[in-house]
Amino acid sequence: AASGLGREAVNYKLRDWLFSRQRYWGEPFPIWHEVDAEGKQTGLMRTVDADQLPVTLPDMDDFKPKGTPDPPLNHAPENWLYMTAADGTRLKRETNSMPQWAGSCWYYLRFCDNKNGEFFIDPELEKYWLPVDLYIGGVEHAVLHLLYSRFWHKVLFDRGHLTTPEPFHKLVNQGMILGENNEKMSKSRGNVVNPDDVVREFGADALRLYEMFMGPLDQVKPWNTKGVEGVYRFLGRVWRMVADDAADDIQLNAAVQDVPLTAEQERVLHKTIKGVTLDIEKLSFNTAISKMMEFTNFFTNVEPRPRAVLEPFVLLLAPFA
């Protein structure tokens, strides 16, 4: 717009952000209110001195909300709640606390250096780790968390605390898994699938693999228990292709031998490795699993089965199951 090549357009509107909560847990605001002789606020405020930061929550026996606008911190011990300034002014702390956004908006920065007691992130670690290469989250994040995170990040950047103007390189929204009746899972609809039940019956590997096999990562997909059974059978075939299923302990299947690969076997192996690798990079997990199923179909009845084929295949499957 400044160069005359276009015009300004507002794509979204940032409205006033209600950033206070009437509850105990949450970061305290580093603000003092001046009060008169009767303890009433005068409307004048002061910031907490830098050497007194961060303000930590006081120990309280009763910090439950009362169902009134009165914040629990209003009933904190007086030695935390009040102080007298050097000029004799009586001060009372701000007793609202910050919402969870105060921590969740910049958690990715702290993850890079969470043991640092001097700075929120070491500048060298910030340069090494950031910006985040890939952020995966629900579509609702784009209008809530990500909007606020970007605002928070840009404020820190403008203040010179960060060297990157943007927090995330790429965003991928994963699709929701619906109930078997194609409706959003909820207790009221009675269509909730308990993952613990699935793990008990089929194992965690089968559950994880099925969720990736259901369809493209970004699409909404209905749950189908028969699909879990199919993936469970696939994993069983992989196991029997490599291991002796009849042995009391874990042993290689007798068909697995140190024999050279045929040209066709080598072609199938390298085609699978290339295809799965590219699919993982594209987050196309469902098609990656399909390629490994095709590999298994090809080698299940091959005897002898070259060990040099199965070892890289097991490594290829390892990130999934």
End-to-end CA distance of the chain: 52
Q: Which residue, among 119, 63, 120, has the nearest Cα to 95 in the 3D structure?
A: 63
Q: What is the pLDDT of residues 100-137, one digit of tens each?
A: 888 888 999 999 999 998 899 999 999 999 999 999 98
User: Which is higher by pLDDT, 142 or 299?
Assistant: 299
pLDDT tens-place string over residues 195-214:
999 999 999 999 999 999 99
Q: Give me the mean pLDDT over the 217-232 stretch.
A: 94
Is residue 14 predicted with pLDDT exceeding 80?
A: no
State yes or no: pLDDT of 176 exceeds 80. Answer: yes
Query: Across residues 229-236, what is the average pLDDT?
Result: 97
**pLDDT tens-digit series, residues 136-157:** 988 877 777 888 899 999 999 9
Letter for the amino acid at 220? V
| Mean confidence (pLDDT) of the chain | 92
Is the pLDDT at 86 greater than 70? The verdict is: yes
CA atoms within 13 A on the CB side of 161: 13
- Which residue ranges make up each domain of the chain? 31-93, 101-173, 178-317
Highest mean pLDDT among 10-14, 62-66, 232-236, 247-251: 232-236
When pLDDT is cut at 50, 70 and 90, the band that residue 187 belongs to is: confident
Write the DSSP assignment of 137-181 as a string of letters: E-GGGGGTHHHHHHHHHHHHHHTTS-S-S-SEEEEEEPPPEEPTT
Residue 138 confidence (pLDDT): 83
Residue range 178-317, CATH number: 1.10.730.10
pLDDT of residue 159 exceeding 70, the answer is: yes
Task: Give the pLDDT score at 1.
Answer: 54
